[in-house]
Structure 1
Amino acid sequence: MRKIPLLTGSRVQLVAVDDGAHLLAPPPPLGALADVGDAVAEALRYPLSGPPLADLVTRGGRATIVVELPTLPLPGAAADPRQDALAAVIDELDRLGMPRARHTLLVAGGLERRAGRRDLERLLHPARARAYRGTVVVHDCAGDELRSLGATGAGELRVHPALVDTDLVVTVTAAETTDRGGACTLLAACSADVVRAARPSPSLLQPSASPASRLGAAVESALAQHTPVVGVSLVLDHPRLTGRYRGYPWSLPTLHALRLSPARLLLNALPGGVRRHLLQGLSRQIGAVSALAGPPSVAHAEALLRGVAVRGTPLPEPLDTLVVPLPWKGPRQPREPLNPITAAAVGLGLALRLWRDAPPLAEGGTIVLLHDFARTFESGPQAPHRALFNELRENRDPERIAGLEAAAARDHRGLSAYRGGRAPHPLLPYADWETCAPALARAGRVIAAGCRDAAAARALGLVPSHNATTALQMARGVAGGDHRVGVLLAPPYAPLLAAALADGERQSMPR
């Protein structure tokens, strides 16, 4: 047996695992671009397909630059390469004859809480943000001013007016998943019903199988009939800690040092708010590995494939048990403590869907989520999640939940809070919960290890357990003794490149 330090919310706990367990860590740091701005300008001059940016601009015309808040990768960093990429796009448009004063920066957030002033200031480095003279608008997916682009299988496509009343649309994103970035950023600038029509796929790394990618491509195609559309997609490295623990979680010596460190014990003894503040304050850096340009769906798909290839972790066999540490904060901006629904969405809807080729979990396997599942529902921003959680406590019947979602879409109080930037759209909790469905359908059981609110775990259909040791013993008993165990050394969550094996091959594979 060996003990591995793993995040359990805002605590760092030692988890005892078998010597034969697979430790699934991100690869070591990758070689970053020396100058992201130059790489973006070069990509726009030589796109993957379609004409270069110089052939698309209208001198003296208006340009709409579509971005999203940097919610992924998790946990993120203060300085982000997307800031440099956005500045490079602004400079390149200005150089080609579209003056900065005629730029519109459209922040497309879909159903997420609308960006506030502090969020907008972080889209560029401080000096560039102060010098920006264009217009900044935040998308409202419940607004009356949305413009129609025609009908698709998801219904009428209604988008933000800034996408129509312009001479050029440029998306600037990073390729983290199929559901974020690229053409999906244009999807996030549509009406709520269209955004919600993109149902979750089992994998977040296979564009061809993603309903969100297909719907985003449809929005891109419809928009391209009105105005030229081009996209920039970055391939990012994982967020890397700096300082004393700069090798966590990919370096085994750093794991050993953290296991023996008295700082870990001190952190665990502090109040929750202090722990979260200290973890959030740790210095991290993110590098960009590559920059690609072209039609948003094309550039994003290629960047995603390249990112998976260089950032992924190989998995030689599907696992019977997979241990998933959960962080101290959620995947949305502004960052907030995880509540039971968002904790499940991070573990089941994000980490367990970051795979290619084959699912990492064997059919009927066990998932162990390391989190306390405390009901940290803040009164304003998390009110929609609290409302859904209270309903899930009563009944998780899909038809009933669908009826509640239809009612939430007409909730005037919730919509008013969303439009005022005080809360997410009332439909976001339903979208978060639905992302858990593929993992829940595949797993035989999901155990909440370190759970301090057994009723909250049971409300979501999870099995509460006091600690990870008990949870792994339960998983071993269900598997009949011997079981293949994998431990995600995360966050950040590395893409899992799992091999699909036949039953006979699995039995004969050496441990």
Structure 2
Amino acid sequence: MSRPGFVLSVDAQTPPLVVFQGEKVLLERLPAGASVLYPPDALPGIRSVDAQIDRALAKPVDSEPLKALLHPETRVTIVFDDLSQPLTARSAPDVRQRVIERVLELAAVAGVDDVELIAATGLRRRLTAQDLRAVLGDRVFASFSPDRLRSHDSEATNDLVEVGRSADGTPIEINSRVVSSDLVISVRLASAVGNEGAPAVVTKLASAATARALNSPLAVAQGSADAYGALVDQIGDTARVFTIDVTLSPEPTGPGTAFLSKREREWSVTDRALSAGLQAASRLLPSRKRVGLSQISGIGFGVTSVVAGRPSSVHPLTEAFLTQQQVGQVDTPADIALFGIPNPGGIGTTLNPVTAAALGLGQVFNGSTSAPVVRKGGTAIFYHPLANWFHPLHHPAYVDFFAEALATTTDSGRLSAEFEGKFASDPWYRHLYQTSFAHHALHPFHAWYSAAPAIEHLGDVIFVGGNLESTRRMGFKAATTLNDALEMASDSVGLSPSITYVHGAPVTISEVS
């Protein structure tokens, strides 16, 4: 059990606080009277990961042991998270590799010879050979690539099968290999409260048309999550689904970053020296009091638990464990909430402005189902540069979504009605998705839809250090400093607003008790 989170009231003795801003770290001094919501201390990563994996497979929740489910004639498909979830280690094997290798060993002992591996990429880009090696390791990659290892293709009509219909009659299509399997083993990483749970097997293995039918603003309003849950049950009619959930916790990967995981008032002399080094470096850099995380040792993720079994039983346990580790509570919602947005490790590219905004507004702000930390009509201040840059290989549809669609409207309903169909049917976008490792043309739309509830709830959205063109295009405001942002917010929240800084976002989930 780690130390619980708490709320700190800022006074004259409070040191500058760590705020993540993209790939950089900022040391920010908050106004007196502001509240700082610290999450519970992160659990250290377990040392005996392989032993924990073996225990989870041997004693699963509401399921027979995995060994008992494997027979020579069993048709097995292993689906695993792509790089939208971070690599857990930069030098040691990634935990997905360790889990999958153990599963394959059990399958080999049982005489199973019909095994395929599918990266559950959904509308995200397909994984390159280098990506697959990073996740699975050389041995698994060499044994299964290319014939029995691939990324899901949401446009491959010959590799999809209809399993039902949506509310408007749209065919619901799922990866045919998954539907035809006797046993589907889902290897999932969970680093934040609010992950998809059991329906993730479907959402990341569906066709683009299915994703569009069940993720449009109208479908979400009508409860598409229930539809996905029903599809999981339908798959269960033909295939047994066995999930392996691995929970993650951020942890420093070297001595240069250890102090970033501590509460600032508890910094040692060494920690303060490192902090002073940050400030000294900031004087030599164009941006004040910031230094690239790549210039120090970095932050990775440690494995804190492994749970396996029936998806509907495992997911609540995973959520409860993450909630205990991440959820911090305040008594009342604030007029202004502050969030830092780091660029997550392992996604393969710097965040573009649309993705950064969706991460801040969708995952950070709206990650909890409880009451948000900022009141209705209040202001959210995020720290991120929102650089007007898009990866030329991965983000071609994002470029046009940003330049064309958002230039016309930021309303999700209008975006869906006026632009989504055009993007989804464009043969060039489809070609780039299927052959050139680009995100699907629907991906920027769904990223934006995830931010819509927060945008509707808030009166103002301000990005400290945000690119002026990017913030204006998305309907937000840009500020150079926190003081500038507070001055902008004063028009809607007054000159003496209550302020809460959610320390450590986006891993921290905030809610009102």
Deviations 1:38-67 (A, max 9, x none): 323322333322433244323243310011
1:219 to 231, 234, 247: 231
- Please state if 1:304 is matched with 2:327: no
Deviates more, 1:412-421 or 1:390-399: 390-399
**Identical residues among aligned pairs (%):** 24
- Indicate conservation of the 8 Å contact 2:44/2:251, yes or no: no
- Which residue pairs with 1:242 in the alignment? 254
Deviates more, 1:175-184 or 1:479-488: 175-184
What are the residue-to-residue correspondences of 1:226-305 with 2, within 5 Å? 226-252=238-264, 253-254=266-267, 257=272, 260-266=275-281, 269=284, 279=294, 282-305=297-320
| Residue-pair matches, total | 485
* Distance (Å, rounded) in 2 between the aligned partners of 1:261 and 1:281: 14
- Indicate conservation of the 8 Å contact 2:80/2:120, yes or no: yes
SS in 2 for 1:247: helix
SS in 2 for 1:286: strand
Give 1:239 shift.
3.8
What are the residue-to-residue correspondences of 1:439-458 with 2, within 5 Å? 439-451=454-466, 453-458=467-472
* Distance (Å, rounded) in 2 between the aligned partners of 1:7 and 1:310: 20
* Distance (Å, rounded) in 1 between the aligned partners of 2:455 and 2:47: 42
SS in 2 for 1:238: strand
- Indicate conservation of the 8 Å contact 1:30/1:289, yes or no: yes
Deviations 1:257-276 (A, max 9, x none): 2784234543675589xx99
* Distance (Å, rounded) in 1 between the aligned partners of 2:293 and 2:247: 28
Classify 1:9/1:267 alpha carbon distance in 2 versus 1 (closer, same or farther; 3 Å): farther
- Which residue pairs with 2:173 in the alignment? 158
- Indicate conservation of the 8 Å contact 1:23/1:486, yes or no: yes
Classify 1:220/1:395 alpha carbon distance in 2 versus 1 (closer, same or farther; 3 Å): closer
- Please state if 1:416 is matched with 2:431: yes
* Distance (Å, rounded) in 2 between the aligned partners of 1:425 and 1:489: 33
Give 1:149 shift.
2.0
* Distance (Å, rounded) in 2 between the aligned partners of 1:258 and 1:279: 19
2:209 to 193, 208, 231: 193
Q: Output the amino acid matched with 1:117.
A: A
* Distance (Å, rounded) in 1 between the aligned partners of 2:223 and 2:371: 18
2:395 to 373, 376, 382: 382
- Indicate conservation of the 8 Å contact 2:23/2:293, yes or no: no
- Indicate conservation of the 8 Å contact 2:412/2:452, yes or no: no
Classify 1:7/1:475 alpha carbon distance in 2 versus 1 (closer, same or farther; 3 Å): same
* Distance (Å, rounded) in 1 between the aligned partners of 2:234 and 2:325: 33
Q: Output the amino acid matched with 1:186.
A: V
* Distance (Å, rounded) in 1 between the aligned partners of 2:279 and 2:142: 40
Deviations 1:321-363 (A, max 9, x none): 1111122x368x6422222211211111111122243212111
2:486 to 437, 459, 472: 472
* Distance (Å, rounded) in 2 between the aligned partners of 1:84 and 1:316: 42
- Which residue pairs with 2:8 in the alignment? none
- Indicate conservation of the 8 Å contact 2:80/2:119, yes or no: yes
- Indicate conservation of the 8 Å contact 2:251/2:261, yes or no: no
What are the residue-to-residue correspondences of 1:80-91 with 2, within 5 Å? 80-91=94-105
Q: Output the amino acid matched with 1:27.
A: P
Give 1:116 shift.
0.8
SS in 1 for 2:187: strand
Q: Output the amino acid matched with 2:389.
A: T
* Distance (Å, rounded) in 1 between the aligned partners of 2:216 and 2:498: 27
- Which residue pairs with 2:4 in the alignment? none
- Indicate conservation of the 8 Å contact 1:372/1:448, yes or no: yes
Q: Output the amino acid matched with 2:494.
A: G
- Which residue pairs with 1:508 in the alignment? none
TM-score scaled by length of structure 1: 0.85
- Which residue pairs with 1:505 in the alignment? none
- Which residue pairs with 1:485 in the alignment? 499
Classify 1:132/1:34 alpha carbon distance in 2 versus 1 (closer, same or farther; 3 Å): farther
What are the residue-to-residue correspondences of 1:423-442 with 2, within 5 Å? 423-442=438-457
Give 1:441 shift.
0.9
1:107 to 98, 108, 119: 119
* Distance (Å, rounded) in 2 between the aligned partners of 1:89 and 1:498: 41
* Distance (Å, rounded) in 2 between the aligned partners of 1:200 and 1:315: 33
- Which residue pairs with 2:7 in the alignment? none
- Indicate conservation of the 8 Å contact 1:172/1:233, yes or no: yes
1:42 to 47, 55, 61: 55
- Which residue pairs with 2:365 in the alignment? 352
Classify 1:106/1:218 alpha carbon distance in 2 versus 1 (closer, same or farther; 3 Å): same
- Which residue pairs with 1:95 in the alignment? 109
SS in 2 for 1:422: coil
- Which residue pairs with 1:19 in the alignment? 32
Give 1:135 shift.
1.9
Classify 1:346/1:76 alpha carbon distance in 2 versus 1 (closer, same or farther; 3 Å): farther
Deviations 1:178-214 (A, max 9, x none): 444543133211101222344499xxxxxxx995653
Q: Gapped runs of 5+ residues in structure 2?
A: 1-11
Deviations 1:86-122 (A, max 9, x none): 22222233333324xx321111111111111111112
Give 1:436 shift.
1.0
Give 1:371 shift.
2.0
SS in 2 for 1:122: helix
What are the residue-to-residue correspondences of 1:326-405 with 2, within 5 Å? 326-327=341-342, 329=343, 334-390=347-403, 391-402=405-416, 403-405=418-420
* Distance (Å, rounded) in 2 between the aligned partners of 1:258 and 1:113: 42
1:167 to 182, 190, 211: 182
Deviations 1:5-41 (A, max 9, x none): 3222233333231233222344323144343333233
- Which residue pairs with 1:321 in the alignment? 336
Deviates more, 1:4-13 or 1:127-136: 127-136
Give 1:125 shift.
4.1
* Distance (Å, rounded) in 1 between the aligned partners of 2:371 and 2:244: 29
TM-score scaled by length of structure 2: 0.85
* Distance (Å, rounded) in 2 between the aligned partners of 1:119 and 1:172: 16
**C-alpha RMSD of matched pairs (Å):** 3.1
Deviates more, 1:376-385 or 1:109-118: 376-385
Deviates more, 1:43-52 or 1:366-375: 43-52
Classify 1:494/1:309 alpha carbon distance in 2 versus 1 (closer, same or farther; 3 Å): same
Q: Output the amino acid matched with 1:348.
A: L
- Indicate conservation of the 8 Å contact 2:79/2:187, yes or no: yes
- Indicate conservation of the 8 Å contact 2:328/2:509, yes or no: yes
* Distance (Å, rounded) in 2 between the aligned partners of 1:346 and 1:364: 20
- Indicate conservation of the 8 Å contact 1:341/1:429, yes or no: yes
